Amino acid sequence: MLIDNIGTLVTNDPELGTLHDAAILFEDGKVAWVGTKIPQGTSGKRLDAGGRAVIPGFVDSHGHLVFAGDRAEEFAARMEGRPYTAGGIKTTVAATRAASTEALRANFDRLVAEALRSGTTTVETKSGYGLTVLDERRSLELAHPLQDRTFLGAHVVPPEHTADDYVHLVKGEMLDACAPHARWIDVFCEDGAFDGEQTRAILTAGIAKGLTPRVHANQLAHGPGVQIAVELGAASADHCTHTTDADVDALANSDTVATLLPGAEFSTRAQYPDARRLIDAGVTVALAADCNPGSSYTTNIPFCIAIAVREMRMTPDEAVRAATLGGAQALRRTDIGHLAPGARADAVVLEAPSHIHLAYRPGVPLVRSVFKDGRYMG
Ligand SMILES: [Zn+2]
C-alpha cells in the first residue's frame, strides 16, 4: 500500500523530520519507504491522500480499561463542587468484582475500538479495579491481546484490608499471580492511596519478579512519587502535576518519561501540569488519555492534544509528538510512535492539511482513516 499526495507527513524521525508533498509505502505491516520521490517500480494498492496530513498512530501509554459501570453521578456532583479524592475508586472496584468476565471483556473491547476510531493504534492498560488476587489476575488476563499490561494492585487499599495487610498481599501472593500476565508494575503514590515507603516496597518486589515500574506520581498534591520513579528507573512518572524544581531536575537527568494526563485535570476541574516547564528543563514528555470511569472517562487523544496546547503551553508540534513518540518512549517501545522505515505501519490520515489542526480545530473529528500494522481499520 502506497499513500501519496500527503500534504504534511509527520515522521518523528530525527533525520526525516516533517515532510511535505510526501508519500509512504507500507509492506508486510511495516513502513518500507518514506520520501517525496516515489521509487520506480512501486506497485500495489495506492491511496491518494489528497493533500491531507498523515501522522503516526497515537500511542496511549496510560489507561485503566478493565472495569464495570460508570461514575457519571460522581462527575456531576464534582462539577457542583465536590472535590475529587482517591476514595471513589472503591465504587468501581465493587462493580468490577461483581461483573462477569464476559461483561468486562466486552467493555474493554468497546473502549479499545473507541480509541482506535480516534486514531489510537496502541493502548496500555492497567489492572487495579479488582484488588483481590483472582480479580487482579482476571483483569490482566482478559486484556491479553495487549502487549503493555500493567499490574496496579496498589491502586487503593480495599475496605476489607488494613493498609499493612494489603501491601503484604500485593507484593506477595497477588504479585506472584499477576506478574506472568504483565510487563509493568504501577503504584498510585498519593495521600489516600499508598505512601512513599509502601510504593518503594511494592515496586521493588515487582522489579524482583521481572516487571518494570511506572508510578502514578504527584497528581493530587506534592509527594515522593516522582523521586521514587526516578530512583527505581521507572519507565514513566505519570501525572506530575505538583512538582518541585528538584523533581523536574531528577526527571530531566533520568530515562523516566513524564506522562501528562490532562483528561484527569479537565474532569476533576484541577490545575493542569506545567508541560512547558518540564520540556524546557529537558524532560521527555508523553501525553495519554488516562481513560478510567472516575477521573478521565475519555479515550480521545486529539482532545488531550488540544488541552495540552491551550492549557499546558505545549506547541502543536510538541503535543502531537508527545502523544505518539512520547507514548512509545513511555512504554519503552521503538517499533511504534514514528514512521521511519522498519517501524510498524501504524498511521492516521487526518481530515486536515497538517497536524496543527488537531489543536487548532478542537472537538472536530479530524481522524479520517486509521492503519494498524499496515491494515486499513476504518
Ligand atoms: Zn491512571
Same domain, 196 and 242: yes
Q: Which of 32-46, 250-264, 281-295 has the lowest mean pLDDT?
A: 32-46
Residue 342 has what pLDDT? 98
Same domain, 25 and 50: yes
CA 141 to ligand 1 center in whole angstroms = 19
Same domain, 67 and 135: yes
Name the band, by pLDDT with cuts 50, 70 and 90, for residue 81: confident
Same domain, 294 and 314: yes
Residue 278 has what pLDDT? 98
> pLDDT digits over 12-57, tens only?
999 999 999 999 999 999 999 999 988 888 888 999 999 999 999 9
Same domain, 299 and 220: yes
The predicted model gives 152-166 an average pLDDT of 96
CA 81 to ligand 1 center in whole angstroms = 22
CA 160 to ligand 1 center in whole angstroms = 23
Residue with cell 456532583: 77
CATH number at residue 187: 3.20.20.140
Residue 110 has what pLDDT? 98
CA 225 to ligand 1 center in whole angstroms = 13
Residue 93 has what pLDDT? 96
pLDDT at residue 87 tops 70: no
CA 316 to ligand 1 center in whole angstroms = 24
Q: Residue 152: CB partners within 8 Å, gap ≥ 6? A: 64, 126, 127, 128, 185, 186, 187, 188
Contact 70, 110 (CB under 8 A): no
CA 267 to ligand 1 center in whole angstroms = 13
Backbone angles phi, psi at 131, to 5 degrees: 60, 20
Same domain, 242 and 257: yes
* Average pLDDT over all residues of the chain: 96
CATH number at residue 48: 2.30.40.10
What is the spatial distance between Cα 104 and Cα 83, in angstroms, rounded to a whole number?
Answer: 28
Same domain, 71 and 96: yes
Residue 306 identity (one-letter amino acid): A
CA 347 to ligand 1 center in whole angstroms = 25
> pLDDT digits over 328-344, tens only?
999 999 999 999 999 99
Same domain, 93 and 45: no
Number of structural domains the chain divides into: 2
Same domain, 226 and 176: yes
CA 80 to ligand 1 center in whole angstroms = 23
Same domain, 122 and 68: yes
Same domain, 49 and 74: no
Residue 16 identity (one-letter amino acid): L
The proportion of the chain whose per-residue pLDDT surpasses 90, expressed as a percent, equals 94
Give the residue numbers spanning the domain of 307: 58-330
> pLDDT digits over 204-249, tens only?
999 999 999 999 999 999 999 999 999 999 999 999 999 999 999 9
What does pTM read for this prediction?
0.97
> pLDDT digits over 306-330, tens only?
999 999 999 999 999 999 999 999 9
Residue 86 has what pLDDT? 64
Count of CB atoms situated within 10 Å of the CB of 323: 32
Same domain, 135 and 151: yes
CA 32 to ligand 1 center in whole angstroms = 35
